[in-house]
Amino acid sequence: MIGVSLVKKTTKLKQMILERKALVCPGAHDAISAKLIERAGFKAIQVSGFGLSATYLGLPDMAFLSFSEVLHFSKNIIDSVEVPVMVDADTGYGNAVNAMRVTEEFIKIGAAGMNIEDQLFPKRCGHLEGKQIVPMDEMILKIKACCKVRDEIDPDFVINARTDAIAVNGVEEAIKRGNAYAEAGADLIFVEAPRSVEQIKYVIESIDAPVSINLMDAVVGGKTPLVAIDKLRELGVARISIPVGPLFAAIKGMVNYLDAIKGDRLAEGRTDLVADFGFFKELVGFPQYRELEKEYLPTYIP
């Protein structure tokens, strides 16, 4: 089709990561949030495992979602946008052999890359307390297994190996693991929850691979300090995920609206609290489907 890029989404994502120019990937928790992220001009999206667990189950990010649920929800997000989408593989949903199937299934649904982490199952959000990590050798073999699948199906599929070692054993262990994971074949090393700008700089300089970090933008309680994107780009960060900002903004918006209507009130005139209906219809593609109805449904259908 004219105007459709022939470059694979996996290739686009990999190229942007290799530039090491702080590719910003806001977290999507559903198809609507993904559409809004794309509409805002972001070039890639991260599916938020934290967000999926919260919005679909009302539970914390502590491995309550099954792989089949994550696969289904992630596919809906991927299908709703044109930009590359990275997905959350958690710990691989089992051992190295289980993680191989996870990798294959994510590639099949059109994901451009995936995060896989070295936490002990059941995992938890990287900014929560109580984390434990698996032995490094175990994670190395899991990464090698995932990379074998990647290389056979789509060599450009990005494997983002995350280490939570800073919280457990300190930054030196995180660097050691990061280099080992890169040597095992990971395309990107996600160093979770560095504690300072100096620590971010140190891990970037010490790990022989592109480095990813996440930021809890505008959210109180994150372990990593907020650092300007330009500064992180200057330091050489390859990718920045902002995993829960869109979700927390949506929650705040709903709280404000519900506060306005509780006590049997109406939010008449409070257009500051809600999206315009016309905007919403455009966002979900209603006009295009209405045109299809006019073309393909019998004329007597109103």
Domain count, the chain: 1
pLDDT confidence tier of residue 207, bands split at 50, 70 and 90: very high
In a domain, 286, yes or no: no
Residue 277, domain member (yes or no): no
Who contacts 35 (Cβ-Cβ below 8 Å, separation ≥6)? 80, 81, 283, 284
What are the DSSP E strand ranges found in 22-67? 23-28, 45-47
Residue 85, CB half-sphere, CA atoms under 13 Å: how many?
32
pLDDT of residue 70: 98
Using the 8-state DSSP alphabet, how is residue 48 labeled? -
CB atoms within 10 A of CB 129: 8
pLDDT of residue 125: 60
Provide the 3-class DSSP secondary structure of residue 108: helix
- Only one residue has tokens 């667990």, namely 53
Q: State mean pLDDT over 266-282.
A: 96
Structural domain contains residue 284: no
pLDDT band at 4 (very low <50, low <70, confident <90, very high): low
Beta bridge partners of 26: 242
Mean pLDDT for the chain overall: 93
In this structure, what CATH number is given to the domain that contains residue 174?
3.20.20.60
The pLDDT of residue 2 is 43
- Confidence check: pLDDT of 28 > 50: yes
| Cα distance between residue 160 and residue 143, in whole Å | 9
| pLDDT above 50 for 51 | yes
Who wins on pLDDT, 128 or 33? 33
CA 177 to chain centre: 21
Please write the tens of the pLDDT for every residue from 97-120: 999 999 999 999 999 999 999 998
Domain hosting residue 101, numbered range = 9-251
Counting every residue written for the chain, the total comes to 302
Nearest Cα neighbor of 238 from 183, 182, 184 is 182
Question: 63-72, 149-158, 171-180, 212-221: which has the minimum mean pLDDT?
Answer: 212-221
Q: What is the pLDDT confidence band of residue 1, given thresholds at 50, 70 and 90?
A: very low
Copy the structure tokens of residue 24.
């910003």
pTM (two decimals)? 0.93
Is 259 among the domain residues? no
Confidence of residue 244 (pLDDT cuts 50, 70, 90): very high
Looking at the predicted structure, is the pLDDT value of residue 69 above 50?
yes
Residue 214 has φ and ψ, to the nearest 5°, of -120, 155
Q: Tell whether 299 is covered by a domain.
A: no
**Residue that has been written with the tokens 């050798």 in this structure:** 137
Q: Kindly report, residue by residue over 122-163, the tens digit of the pLDDT.
A: 776 655 566 789 999 999 999 999 999 999 999 999 999 999
